[in-house]
Amino acid sequence: RLGDAYRVELEFIVQQAQDVLQVPASALFRAGDGWAAYRIDHGRARRTEVQVGLRSATAAQVTGGL
């Protein structure tokens, strides 16, 4: 039991993955029932449907489509 003058900082890791493509969550948008992102193709932005894995409020794992 800690007294009033003590402070504790905790960090919980609830999801973790290795060797994945991670993008900012703001780079993805809804496209029908799925997700999409823009990619550069020959100097032009092209909308591309992507498959998304793990997500948080700030980042998302792209598992296919790019």
CATH at residue 48: 2.40.420.20
Return the pLDDT at 62. 97
Q: Which residue segment(s) compose the domain that 46 sits in?
A: 1-66
- What number is the average pLDDT over the span 8-28? 89
Number of domains observed in the structure of the chain: 1
Count of residues making up the chain? 66
Burial class (CB in 10 A: 0-12, 13-18, 19+), 30: exposed
Could you read off the pLDDT of 22-49 as tens digits, one per residue?
Answer: 999 999 999 999 999 999 999 999 999 9
Residue 52's pLDDT band (cuts 50, 70, 90): very high
